[in-house]
Structure formats: C-alpha cells, structure tokens
Amino acid sequence: MSSMIYQLWQAQQDFQLPFRMFAESAGRVLKELEPVAAAMPLAAPFIRRTSAALDLVANARTTHTRPGYDFTTVCVGNREVEVTEEPVLETPFGTLLRFAKDTSVQQPRVLVVAPMSGHFSTLLRGTVEVLLPDHDVYITDWANARDVPLSAGEFGFDDFTAHVIRFLEVLGPGSHVVAVCQPVPATLAAVSIMSEDRNRATPATMTLMAGPVDTRISPTKVNELAQSKPIEWFERNLIDKVPMRYAGAGREVYPGAVQLQAFMSMNLQRHVRAHRNQFANIVAGNTEAQAAHRRFYDEYFAVMDLPAEYFIQTVKRIFQDHDLPRGELTYRGRAVRPEVIRKTALLAVEGERDDICAIGQTMAALDLCPNIPLAKRQYHLQTGVGHYGVFAGKRWANEVYPKVRAMIEANS
C-alpha cells in the first residue's frame, strides 16, 4: 500500500524551489553590495544579517546528487601520487570503486563496505581518506534506488550480502574488509558463507565498526522504534513508489528524505545550533567556519533512496527478529554460521557515546565467532565519541585507525 510520502515530499520540494532560487539570487546581490555598505554604519549590519538569512534559506534543501569523493592526490611514503576513481565492477545497484594510485608500491587491498542507509557512500570519505595512504582501497559505491529501473529486479538483504561476496572475490585472496554501521551483519554473513565454502577470496581480516550485530543489548531509540511497531506498519507508512519523472519510476523504496528526517530528529537541537552558528559566522565573515558547515551539510542533505525490500528485510531480520545472534539468519536458504570462521582475524570497534549502535551490540560478533583464535579476536572501545566519531574525525584517525592498521599489517 503506497503511503504517498514520496509524492508529498516531491511536491514540497517543487513548491520551495522558487523561494530558494530567489534567496540565492538576492543573496548574491547583497554580497556584491557589502563592500559599498561597509562605509555605511547603519546599512552594513542589516545587509550582512539579511544576506546570512538568505544563505540559510537557499541551502536548506535536500538533493539526490551524489557528492564527489574529491581525492586527487595522496602521500605514499615520502611521495605524493595521483588518485583516480576506477570502477572495477558495476551492477544496477552498486559499483565496486577503487581509489587507484599512481604508484608501483604494493599495499594491502581493503574493501570498505558502506551503509545503504539513506546517504551516499561518500559519507565515508573521511574513513577512506585515513585508510588511503597505507592501503589499496575499494568501496561499495551504492546506487540511488530512485534511479534503478524496475527491470533490474529487487534488491534485498541477501542481494546485499551477495554483493559483498562478489566484490571480495574481485579483490582476491589476502584482502581485508572494513564494514561500517548498518552493513556489519551482512558482512559477517558474507564472511561466514565464504569461510564455509572455503572460498579462496575469504578476507584475511574483518573489521566491524559500530554495527547492529545484536540489538537486544542496551537498546537505543533506533532499536526501540524498530521493536515498537509491527513490520506491516513500516511497510504501510514508510514505503512509497518512485514518481514517474525518475528512471526508477514505480520502484518501491524507503525514501532517503524520510531517513534524513529521522536522523535529524534524534539530534534536532544540535542541528538548530549548527545553523545558528552558521548565521553568526556569515555575519562575522568567518569564511573558514562557513565552508566547514557547508561541506558537512552538503553531504548530510544529499540523500539516496533504499530498495524497499532491503529496508524491510533489514528491519525484520536484524532489528526485530534478531536472526543473527539467535542463529536463525539465512543466506539464500542456507544457515549463516559465524562459528565456521577460523582464519579471518576479527576486530570489533564501538563508540562510548554511540546513541545509534550501543556498546555491546557490535562486540557480540566476538562471541558469535568462537573458533577464531583469541589472538585474532580483538575489541576496541573508543572513548569520547558517538556513532560518527568511530569512523570519522580525529579520534578515528589517531586512535581507532592505528588498531585497524596494526591488525591488517599483522595478517598481510
């Protein structure tokens, strides 16, 4: 049953477009007047404040445009080398993207499994940036379901898992996998299946970061919401069809704009405060702070739609029925058995202040993999960070990443 949520959101965007365009044009005019107004003590503050308000209105919008990763060079050893985005394998729902470097230095191959959770994979730009100097990095660059035609078929939880397996097979033996947030269960399932099949491409190490392995442990607001409604409620209220104007017309999706609203509502005061600060920064002429705010929100407001079947199956299997920790998870009809993993080293990482994936939920993977030698089963709790601080920012670069790098080095 269609909820009409997509059509209502699209109508709202269409209605607001002329106002945003006016705000953008008027803002440019006022910017040009600022040098002249500087000589008019009474007019200058009014112009700066009006310009700041127009800037906020013009940029208060969601987009469905994937931002760029924007890596051009990276330092390998003592040498700066070019970085080129190289699509290695493409499917309708995602691309295995390599950040190829112009160097003959052989580095450990690492697959970064990005979430399919309403934002583009570029949300992990900071994760990749830190990994890039020391590793040959690939990422799962997921497609916006809005742009995937119906002829491409459905994309469910098993399809996500199959993509991880296929991508690891492309990387080949001896590679490593780093899963961030939502894809942690699917990645653990993929490595379990590969281990049981004795697949030569089974990764040497698996890093699971802030992911929902067992959401029965210290449930967060996200977990409580998933448990508070029957799955039919999610199907009825959060799923809609892509409008006719897009390539994926008629495809049932969980709109990325809905997920964005859910994320923002969890920390609404923080976002309000950030925009108040942006207003003050524009008035004060603090260009560096302005640019940092725009970079973050250009990424944050860029949303992608999820295939409905993937979203619903994830809610049902991972957050409601807890199939993975209960030993009930299946992949294409086969039981997923993490206990068969023996050779892949495992590192679970959590954040002390994570209000999306609480302490213990990712650590549960260590108990599900009892046959990995203790020396190869590691855990790191990063103090002082929330969810995003586990894989982005200074704490990720200076405290979490050294643990990841050490494990990869020890098993390469």
pLDDT digits (tens, 9 = 90+) for 23-80: 567 657 666 666 665 656 666 676 677 766 766 666 666 777 888 999 999 999 889 9
Tell me what pLDDT residue 265 has: 63
Contact in structure between 217 and 361 (CB atoms under 8 Å): yes
Contact in structure between 309 and 340 (CB atoms under 8 Å): no
Tell me what pLDDT residue 267 has: 65
Tell me what pLDDT residue 276 has: 79
Tell me what pLDDT residue 285 has: 75
Contact in structure between 46 and 68 (CB atoms under 8 Å): no
Please, what are the domains in the chain?
5-61+259-300 (no CATH), 73-223+307-410 (3.40.50.1820)
Structure tokens given for 335: 């039981």
For the chain, helix (H) and strand (E) counts, in that order, are 14, 14
Tell me what pLDDT residue 187 has: 98
Distances in whole angstroms, Cα of residue 373 to Cα of each of 132, 339, 343, 376, 378? 29, 11, 8, 5, 10
Which backbone phi and psi does 301 adopt, to 5 degrees?
-90, 0
| CA terminus-to-terminus distance, the chain | 50
Structure tokens given for 33: 């007047």
Radius of gyration of the chain (CA): 23
Tell me what pLDDT residue 349 has: 98
- Profile the chain (412 residues) by mean pLDDT over runs of 10 residues: 62 62 64 63 68 66 81 92 97 98 95 92 95 98 96 98 98 98 97 98 98 96 91 91 91 82 66 73 75 71 89 97 98 98 98 96 98 97 96 96 98 94
Tell me what pLDDT residue 410 has: 97
Tell me what pLDDT residue 404 has: 98
Q: Using the 8-state DSSP alphabet, how is residue 90 labeled?
A: E
Burial readout 334-345 (b: 16 or more C-beta within 10 A, e: otherwise): eebbbebbeebb
Tell me what pLDDT residue 1 has: 41
Q: Which of 3, 10, 1, 2 is nearest to 243 (CA)?
A: 10
Contact in structure between 212 and 185 (CB atoms under 8 Å): yes
- CB-count exposure of residue 390 (10 Å: 0-12, 13-18, 19+): buried
